[in-house]
Amino acid sequence: MDLTMIQIILVVIVAFLAGVEGILDEFHFHQPIIACTLIGLVTGELVPCLILGGTLQLIALGWANIGAAVAPDAASASVASAIILVLGGQGEEGVTSAIAIAVPLAVAGLLLTIIVRTLATGIVHLMDAAAKEGNFRKIDMWHIIAIIMQGLRIAIPAALIVAIGAAPVRDLLTAMPAWLTDGLAVGGGMVVAVGYAMVINMMATREVWPFFAIGFVLATIPSITLLGLGGIGVALALIYLALTKQGGSGGGGNGNTGDPLGKIIDDY
Amino acid sequence: MAEQLKLTKKDRVSIWWRSTFIQGSWNYERMQNGGWAFSMIPAIKRLYKTKEDRAAALQRHLEFFNTHPYVASPIIGVTLALEEERANGAPVDDKAIQGVKVGMMGPLAGIGDPTFWFTVKPILGALAASLALTGNILGPILYFVLWNLIRMGFTWYTQELGYKAGSKITEDLSGGLLQDITKGASILGMFILGALVNRWVSVAFAPTVSEVQLDEGAYIDWDELPGGTEGMRTALEQQAAGRSLSDTNVTTLQDNLDSLIPGLAGLLITLLCMWLLRKKVSPIAMILGLFAIGIVFHVIGLM
């Protein structure tokens, strides 16, 4: 479908917000479930974009910027694939191929964010100069410019995709044979594992592996919802922490409550 | 006696809001330093009046800094307390301030990453995604509202905590509380990850393992049914009674795997990915590889 001028402007604004959040990681406008839904909202293709966002969110669950490492870029993946989904005009049918496009886009976005983070090195040198003069306004200004750069990182490619227009995007999507889109859907089901594996590798210790097993087995009972599983998980963690403490201070009993957390809270 | 310099609540709220943008000028040289200085500006304005003092303070806060963006808040709080003491004449030198910052950012990032990135985000994300997949708009709304409530509550509360506790917070945090939070978060995180791997990694093997001809009476004999709606009703009744829809019982490879435990194939793929990651295979390569495998296996009829 073709977008009106107002819709195009709104799409570019959403893209800008996603780009900014791609670095800030605060409000989470760049998370697929938010970014895709917003694109869907402003273009009137809410439901297909919502489903796209949900699917991408599952793939991106484990993507996180840790230390200096940069994760595949959720912002560009979600914004660009949602725009392509809308332009393609296939509705929910197009979700699978949009996801297939999203992954290479996440890599492209990763390269862009590395470029912008390198450019920001120059900006902090300008901040150094401003600091020497004790100039607050200049520091504010350079910081805001750096943020705007990150926003443009997504807004410009988004505008380019819109400019290419519906027809080439649609041609690209319809040119994809069924074996390819179906195969990509099969792959998409497995790709989620990579994100989980990244997270597990960060957290796993001999001590916490049993909890993984319990979670895995309980999840086979379809009637327990995720929220319910969350409740069980919190309870297990609390029980475990309480039991380890009893083991440590057992037999002490000199009026010690054995609750350092409560003690710290009391002290404040 | 000279008037005591004190940060007002308005200053602290403004610092808190500015700290939202702490990663804005993230760079490969000193990482979050620009955002850190940007956050400290209201305090520097309040506490230092001469140009020299202000310039020195700004330069001091443009030193290297990097941690999880949300747990920067308690560090900001402590730094505010230290800066306040310094402005009032206490012997707090640049080294002490930088030392506190660097000393806290490592261990606190150790809480922030597992708690926010690996526990809260996957749980909220999976919950919201499961709603969104059914076309329910509540998914994204729930994610956005809950995430930001948790984040803003956490950053404001811990910034205030750091400010009030001053330099004492480092001691407290290196004690039991820090360990409890990290351990609790990783227990909950691993538990939920187990569940997510089971529910959301979907692998379906297509090949048929066996076809068994069923005995008469074990399946619905479509030719024998009465016509019209009467026939439909009989068919549905027979199905509810446990009769099979066709006269053969088809078992696929997937059914066999599921009878061990549903989700086994997904688990194996996850473990394989973990192993590959430890072998330093890039996650991007693995994602593209899995798509390629999906296409190939689908074309040859395995999935």
pLDDT of res. A95: 87
- Chain B: residue nearest A138 by CA? B38
Q: Which positions in chain B touch A211 (Cβ < 8 Å)?
A: 187-188, 190-191, 194
Buried/exposed B239-250: b ≥16 CB within 10 Å, e otherwise: eeeeeeeeeeee
pLDDT of res. B172: 56
pLDDT of res. B139: 94
- Residue B36 — very low, low, confident or very high, per pLDDT cuts 50/70/90? very high
Pairwise pLDDT comparison (A70 vs B243), residue with the higher score: B243
Of A161-175, B134-148, B174-188, which has the strongest mean pLDDT?
A: B134-148
Model confidence at B16: pLDDT above 90:
yes
The per-residue pLDDT of chain A, averaged, comes to 84
pLDDT tens profile A227-246: 788 889 889 999 998 898 87
pTM, two decimal places: 0.77
Pairwise pLDDT comparison (B182 vs A44), residue with the higher score: A44
**Quick check: A196 and A219 in contact, CB under 8 A?**
no
Model confidence at A266: pLDDT above 60:
no
pLDDT of res. A247: 65
The residue of A27, A61, A180 whose CB has the most chain B CBs within 10 angstroms, and thus the best one to mutate to test that interface, is A61
Pairwise pLDDT comparison (A159 vs B182), residue with the higher score: A159
Q: What share of chain A is helix, strand, coil (3-state, %, to 5)?
A: 80, 0, 20
The encoded tokens of residue B21 equal 């943008």
Out of B23, B122, B148, name the one closest to residue A25 (CB). B23
**Quick check: B67 and B109 in contact, CB under 8 A?**
yes
Angle at CA of residue A30, ends B280 and A63, nearest 5°? 20
Lowest mean pLDDT among B44-53, B68-77, B105-114, B129-138: B105-114
pLDDT of res. B173: 52
Contact residues, A window 30-59, toward B, CB-based 8 Å cutoff: 31, 33-34, 37, 46-47, 50-51, 53-55, 57-58
pLDDT of res. A94: 85
Q: Is B104 left (phi over 0), alpha (psi -120 to 50) or beta?
A: alpha
What percent of chain B has pLDDT above 90?
A: 34
- Residue A256 — very low, low, confident or very high, per pLDDT cuts 50/70/90? very low
**Quick check: B126 and A62 in contact, CB under 8 A?**
no
Q: Which positions in chain B touch A31 (Cβ < 8 Å)?
A: 125, 143
Which residue type is seen at B230?
E
Which residue type is seen at A248?
G
pLDDT of res. B95: 80
pLDDT, average across residues B139-161: 95
| Residue position matching structure tokens 């090949």 | B207
pLDDT of res. A211: 94
Instruction: Give whole-number Cα distances, B41 to B162, B237, B301, in Å.
Output: 18, 75, 63
Angle at CA of residue A136, ends A133 and A137, nearest 5°? 110
Out of A20, A26, A190, name the one closest to residue B69 (CB). A26
Q: Which positions in chain A touch B135 (Cβ < 8 Å)?
A: 47, 50-51
Model confidence at A29: pLDDT above 90:
yes
Query: d(Cα A97, Cα A182) in Å, to the nearest integer?
Result: 9
Q: At what angle do helices A74-88 and A46-59 cross, to 10 degrees?
A: 150
Instruction: Give whole-number Cα distances, A261 to A240, A264, B153, B179, B180, in Å.
Output: 15, 5, 19, 11, 8
| CA terminus-to-terminus distance, chain A | 59
pLDDT of res. B144: 96
Out of A53, A132, A214, name the one closest to residue B194 (CB). A214
pLDDT tens profile A140-193: 999 999 999 999 999 999 999 999 887 787 777 677 777 877 787 788 778 878
- Give the distance from CA B30 to its chain's centroid: 25
Model confidence at A210: pLDDT above 60:
yes
pLDDT tens profile A79-110: 999 999 999 888 888 888 888 788 777 877 87
Helix (H) / strand (E) element for A197: namely: helix A178-203
Whether A243 and chain B come into contact, CB under 8 Å, resolves to: no
- Residue A254 — very low, low, confident or very high, per pLDDT cuts 50/70/90? very low
Whether B260 and chain A come into contact, CB under 8 Å, resolves to: no
Model confidence at B3: pLDDT above 80:
no
Quick check: B269 and A202 CB within 8 A? no
ipTM summary value: 0.79
pLDDT of res. B216: 73
- Number of continuous H segments (helices) and E segments (strands) in chain B: 13, 2
A182, with CB counted inside 10 A (0-12, 13-18, 19+), is middle
- Residue B221 — very low, low, confident or very high, per pLDDT cuts 50/70/90? confident
Q: Of the candidates A46, A36, A42, A61, which has an alpha carbon nearest to the alpha carbon of residue A3?
A: A42
Instruction: Give whole-number Cα distances, A24 to A28, A138, A155, A219, A260, in Å.
Output: 8, 20, 16, 33, 34
Model confidence at A27: pLDDT above 80:
yes
Q: Of the candidates A32, A249, A238, which has an alpha carbon nearest to the alpha carbon of residue B132?
A: A32
pLDDT, average across residues A64-83: 80
- Chain A: residue nearest B44 by CA? A136
pLDDT tens profile B90-105: 888 888 888 788 878 8
The per-residue pLDDT of chain B, averaged, comes to 85
**Beta-sheet strands, E only, within B4-118:** none
pLDDT tens profile B75-91: 999 999 989 988 988 88
| Residue position matching structure tokens 């005995």 | B215
The residue of A186, A201, A209, A246 whose CB has the most chain B CBs within 10 angstroms, and thus the best one to mutate to test that interface, is A186
